[in-house]
Structure 1
Amino acid sequence: MRPGSLDEQLRELAERTGVPCIDGKKTTSHGWRTGANTDLIAASVPLTERNKAGRWAEGSHTGDTVYDRRHGAGAHDPVAQVPLYGGPAHAVAAQARADATADQKE
């Protein structure tokens, strides 16, 4: 792949869903890293572990500043418009989380 190919493909898919921007910013592959870190924050994963997962320097606060995008959460869910496996993507993800939680309790 040439540089920028992934972002171009992601932007095209975002345009197709009718959501080219999230929180006023164009959809980019950079958001995948942000989304993962934001989910880890919601799961109470400590910054030191998030630094390892995000490949940021030890002691860095990047995961708590640049990549913390909890603002706007729930205000507009663009994923709700994307069908996945025959239903809304968020429903599939919610079911997968519930199944994983049930498996952990067994």
Structure 2
Amino acid sequence: MDAYTATFEPDGSLTVTTSKSTGKGTWTATGDTSFDFSVREDFNPDYTQISPTGKRAAYIQIDFSAQHDGEKFTGAGKAVIYAADDSLIYATDAGTEGRRVS
């Protein structure tokens, strides 16, 4: 699992930063301790992300359903990798976990 920083804003917007990408998306509460989020991460221009199929990836679309306990969250969903021409390279099941930092 790659390390990342995610910022969940009160207005439902979301930003994600990793060492190789930046992304924007949205999140929605689906219950008292559950939420869904969706983010498109564009790979940094100076980073070459080669997919398992051998194609150069331009961005990744991630859609998760998650649960939190106030300080930590875990989620599962799909990660779909696209080329610069928006053609689908591959998709995979994915998981995530995070913790609140101040």
Q: Normalised by the shorter chain, which TM-score bucket?
A: under 0.3
More helix by share: 1
- TM-score normalised to structure 1 length: 0.23
Decide which structure has the larger Cα Rg and report it: 1
- TM-score normalised to structure 2 length: 0.24
